[in-house]
Structure 1
Amino acid sequence: MPIPSPSLGLIGRVVAILLFATLVEFGMSTVLYERASQFSVRDDEGRRLAEHLVIARRLMAEHPREGREAMARSVSTAHYAMAWHTVAPPPSDPALSEMRAKVLAWEPVLQSSPLRMRLEPATTGSYVSGAAQLPDGSWLYFRTAEAIDSLDQSRNRILIALGIAGVVMTLGGGLIGRALRPMRLLASAADRFGTAEAAPLAEEGPTEVRRVITAFNRMQARIQQLITDRTQALAAVGHDIRTPLARLRLRAESIATEPVRDEILEDVAEMDAMVGSLLAFLGGEDDPEKPVLADLAVLCATLADDAADHGRAVTYVGPDHLEHVFRQLGVKRAVSNLVENGLHHGEHVILGLRREPDCVIVRVEDDGPGIPEDLLQSVLEPFVRLDTARRRDTLGLGLGLAIVCRAVELEKGKLTLSNRPEGGLCAEIRLPRPD
């Protein structure tokens, strides 16, 4: 069974951690830098404004009222625009309370009369404006000629800086992904381990990863050799056992006493079935058979007809033709085992076949005693025989359903067992259809 991939793999986690740490550090640094820059700009602006206000206020206070408008224009500079009015300005903006306090601290003479400061919106920031009251109650208005950065502009710069950092970290994550690519290949090789598709993995990547791959390749080679040795030994043992069984069958057929001959032949058949099931189950994970496009309906109908020719009640229900890509020998053995299992424990078997949008379903139903609900999964394990639910004269070692499971797994399908409401067992094979 394929190993499910986690929602966030090793590469993703490494990149996410690095990205998060970098963005936090870069973001905090940028915010602190922006704030420090703003404070520095406002400090310089406040000191220059305080000096200019002291001089301009003194000149305006000494000048006659009828000439103060012209005087205000004359004391304007490239940095400050000055004007004279008798109307009082709006109250101070709380956002400039700190800057106002510093202006008054730098030039204490300005504390003798009201000083109001505000922010005026501009296209690229805000102007600092306000007014200082003269001794006669009129007001000297001022406004900076250059706008200072607003909060939105600072936020935009921070977002741009974070975006650049994110792009850089994403590129770095891509490099990390390339460095850890052998780990993904190792996971895929481990998933294929024990099958005909298994092959040594290229030893590449960082030193630590190469060491893991080298160890994996050695382990795979050792286990593959053990499987090969076991398969060869089983084949030799099977041949050696079946040879005397064949001789015993021939000799038994020459026995004149019919009851004794039949009992001996039955025992020989049971031993032969045991050897066959053992060889099929313990033959290793190799899969020399390749999937081909074949008619599954013809296969199922042929199995049913063969059983009927031997006087056994097997009925095929399904289409005349249904082409599907599958391993013919493996699927035939699986369906045949299910049919034999149903006939051993019931009188009549229905072999059904149907096509669905995403899969092909083979269903084998019998009219036997069924299986207790709590044992439906246990019976799929090798060497398990539930004598309490089945007859005791069943041939084999309890490997029939285990062999079916293995054949279905090779097709990436699923085998499920359930009890029929009217009695008996239902075995269903779901074979996925190719996209």
Structure 2
Amino acid sequence: MPPSPAIPSPVIPSRLKVLRPHSLMGQMLLAVAAALLLVQGLGAFLVYRAQREGYEAGMNNAAVFRLIMETRGPRGLVRRQNGRPGDAPGGPLSGPPPKGYHLEYSTRSPVLPGEARDRDAESELTRILADQDFTVREVVVVHRAAGQDRYARRGLLRRAASFGLPPDEVSGLLRSNLMVVGVRTSDEGSWIIARVRGPRPENVLLKPILIQTISIYVVLMMAVALILRRITRPLAALTRRLERFAATQDLDGQLPPSGPEDMQRLIVAHNAMESRIAALLDEKDVMLGAIGHDLKTPLAALRVRIESVSDDVERGRMASTIEDIVRTLDDILSLARVGRPSDPLERTELSALMFAVIEEYEDMGEPVEVGETERIALELRPTWIRRALRNLIGNALRYGQRARVSLSRETTPGGRSAVIVIDDDGPGIPEDQIHAMMNPFTRGDPSRNSATGGAGLGLALARAIAEQHGGALVLANRLAADGTVEGLRAKVELPVG
């Protein structure tokens, strides 16, 4: 029963981590924040637009009120009796406005050079004046700072002097917005000019809307964050528990149910699943132990019996067959147990362990060479790593006639790793079969000297051992300059740190 392959953690570039959160809480907060920002922004824009339209309507109505009161009210009557026809066509009019009204009579348009006219306000004022039967030839509207208008500036400075206003308040009044409305009532060029002063709409409307929007946004985000934290905290704990159980298959430290009801049910179901998996693994270990014992005992008896065979050739063949069966049985049992090791991790000098394995082959006269090697110490299970190295070096010798072994530190997709490289001079493996070759009971092409091959468990066991340590086994063909295959390269990557 081969172990489940380890699931590597995704390698996420640091820049992407900054731009996009990968946790559930972070992504949900980002989605809610974006949705709230869109809704709040749209709502704030609509409120601002409605309030601005109301503000502009108030300014327009104030200007119309002053024009009508001046020309049709009691003061207009006095002006007509004195020969100053306010709203009737007549001769050129000039001079200061009547006291109490911000009106000016002039023969020139109030638009200064370089000023832009407010066409929307002009259309609205024309409509309102027409509704009031106030006949005009032309209407112009401009906006300027009160300090830039000679009449408004003179009046504000006189008021400041009368009331003793401080300089900063006077400066604010001079910067305030002034809407200047000019109405031409005759073809001779007579203009009635009204001025309506008020703060700019941006200053009046944007600040409270902005404060309101930010306040609502902060309150809603805090509420969402609290809800998400209540959901994601037990989920994060369950994730850590799952990772620990996947590595150790230990039932100690199971989580008590917490969080919302759905999350509690998930934790209860997960605990039950862990218990069932642990029971199945225990049954598997018992079964494997029984199989190993029940098979090895008759094999040992057969090994003794073949000594009575008189034919040396036949006896040698029988002994070789028994050794193959024992070796295959050991590989199967090791492959089944590698996912649940019983021996603890030990701080080990990997280069020393590698040299010890190489010496075994050198003592047997096998052509094993040592390349560049670094001293690297890390936490591992020496017995299993030694088994993986024997399998890989044995494969290199069997199919490639010689093996070259080296050890170095490299940056791999999983981070910094200790990398053991085993090269051979064999025919390599077809590219479309490299991945399949690491599966149990898979053998190479017959051209790879199948007569000396085993049961196809060596690479599968080496890969399982590497993954048991959080690493990986990588196979690749070594290519010459002309593209031909020079041999096979096996890399055992073990994370450092």
Per-residue deviation, residues 321-343 of structure 1 (Å, max 9, x unmatched): 44333332221111111112222
Structure with the bigger RCO (C-alpha within 8 Å, sep 6+) is 2
Q: 1:69: how far off?
A: 4.4
RMSD across aligned positions (CA): 3.3
Q: 1:301: how far off?
A: 1.3
Q: 1:222: how far off?
A: 0.9
* Structure-2 change in CA distance of 1:221 and 1:42 (3 Å): same
Structure 2 partner of 1:89: 110
Moved more, 298-307 or 309-318: 309-318
| TM-score (norm: length of structure 1) | 0.84
C-alpha separation in 1, matches of 2:374 and 2:59 = 93
* Structure-2 change in CA distance of 1:282 and 1:346 (3 Å): same
* Paired letter, 2:132: E
Which of these residues, 316, 328, 334, is aligned with residue 388 of structure 2? Answer: 334
Contact in 2 for aligned 1:195/1:287 (Cα 8 Å): no
* Structure-2 change in CA distance of 1:169 and 1:63 (3 Å): same
* Paired letter, 2:269: A
User: Structure 1 residue 117 and structure 2 residue 141: aligned?
Assistant: yes
User: Structure 1 residue 168 and structure 2 residue 219: aligned?
Assistant: yes
Structure 2 partner of 1:146: 198
Structure 2 partner of 1:317: 371
C-alpha separation in 2, matches of 1:320 and 1:44 = 83
C-alpha separation in 2, matches of 1:425 and 1:51 = 95
* Structure-2 change in CA distance of 1:161 and 1:340 (3 Å): same
Per-residue deviation, residues 222-242 of structure 1 (Å, max 9, x unmatched): 122111111121012212322
* Structure-2 change in CA distance of 1:261 and 1:402 (3 Å): same
C-alpha separation in 1, matches of 2:183 and 2:306 = 128
Where 1:210 maps in the other structure, the secondary structure is helix
Structure 1 partner of 2:65: 51
Structure 1 partner of 2:495: 432
C-alpha separation in 1, matches of 2:68 and 2:473 = 94
Contact in 2 for aligned 1:300/1:316 (Cα 8 Å): no
Where 2:373 maps in the other structure, the secondary structure is coil
Moved more, 202-211 or 162-171: 162-171
* Structure-2 change in CA distance of 1:146 and 1:388 (3 Å): same
C-alpha separation in 2, matches of 1:287 and 1:159 = 61
C-alpha separation in 2, matches of 1:106 and 1:148 = 27
C-alpha separation in 1, matches of 2:140 and 2:478 = 91
Which of these residues, 239, 243, 263, is aligned with residue 209 of structure 1? Answer: 263
Structure 1 partner of 2:54: 40
* Paired letter, 1:433: V
Contact in 2 for aligned 1:413/1:430 (Cα 8 Å): yes
User: Structure 1 residue 276 and structure 2 residue 330: aligned?
Assistant: yes
* Paired letter, 1:95: D
Which of these residues, 342, 346, 351, is aligned with residue 297 of structure 1? Answer: 351
| TM-score (norm: length of structure 2) | 0.75
C-alpha separation in 2, matches of 1:215 and 1:223 = 12
* Structure-2 change in CA distance of 1:197 and 1:244 (3 Å): closer
C-alpha separation in 2, matches of 1:168 and 1:240 = 70
Structure 2 partner of 1:101: 126
Contact in 2 for aligned 1:299/1:332 (Cα 8 Å): yes
* Paired letter, 2:40: F
C-alpha separation in 1, matches of 2:338 and 2:468 = 13
* Structure-2 change in CA distance of 1:31 and 1:276 (3 Å): same
C-alpha separation in 2, matches of 1:68 and 1:313 = 116
Where 1:95 maps in the other structure, the secondary structure is helix
C-alpha separation in 1, matches of 2:283 and 2:338 = 10
C-alpha separation in 2, matches of 1:249 and 1:39 = 103
C-alpha separation in 1, matches of 2:56 and 2:400 = 95
Moved more, 269-278 or 89-98: 89-98
Q: 1:302: how far off?
A: 1.3
List gaps (5 residues or longer) in structure 2: 1-6, 13-19, 85-92, 147-171, 480-484
Q: 1:382: how far off?
A: 0.7
* Paired letter, 1:168: V
Contact in 2 for aligned 1:27/1:158 (Cα 8 Å): no
* Structure-2 change in CA distance of 1:55 and 1:308 (3 Å): closer
Per-residue deviation, residues 117-162 of structure 1 (Å, max 9, x unmatched): 3222466763221234577854443212333514x76456555544
Which of these residues, 120, 127, 138, is aligned with residue 178 of structure 2? Answer: 127
Per-residue deviation, residues 297-336 of structure 1 (Å, max 9, x unmatched): 1111111111121232222233374433333222111111
Per-residue deviation, residues 368-416 of structure 1 (Å, max 9, x unmatched): 3432232111110011122513333446421111111111112222212
C-alpha separation in 2, matches of 1:246 and 1:360 = 40
Where 1:426 maps in the other structure, the secondary structure is strand
Q: Write out aligned runs for 1:404-419 (5 A).
A: 404-419=462-477
Where 1:389 maps in the other structure, the secondary structure is helix
C-alpha separation in 1, matches of 2:406 and 2:200 = 82
Where 1:74 maps in the other structure, the secondary structure is coil
Moved more, 139-148 or 270-279: 139-148
* Paired letter, 1:96: A
Which of these residues, 354, 357, 372, is aligned with residue 430 of structure 2? Answer: 372
Structure 2 partner of 1:2: 8
Q: Write out aligned runs for 1:190-229 (5 A).
A: 190-196=242-248, 199=251, 200-229=254-283
Where 1:245 maps in the other structure, the secondary structure is helix
Q: Write out aligned runs for 1:22-41 (5 A).
A: 22-41=36-55
User: Structure 1 residue 350 and structure 2 residue 356: aligned?
Assistant: no
Structure 2 partner of 1:178: 229
Contact in 2 for aligned 1:194/1:224 (Cα 8 Å): no
Q: 1:219: how far off?
A: 1.7
C-alpha separation in 2, matches of 1:388 and 1:60 = 119
Q: 1:363: how far off?
A: 1.5
Percent sequence identity is 26
Per-residue deviation, residues 150-195 of structure 1 (Å, max 9, x unmatched): 4x76456555544444433432342233133133444444455543
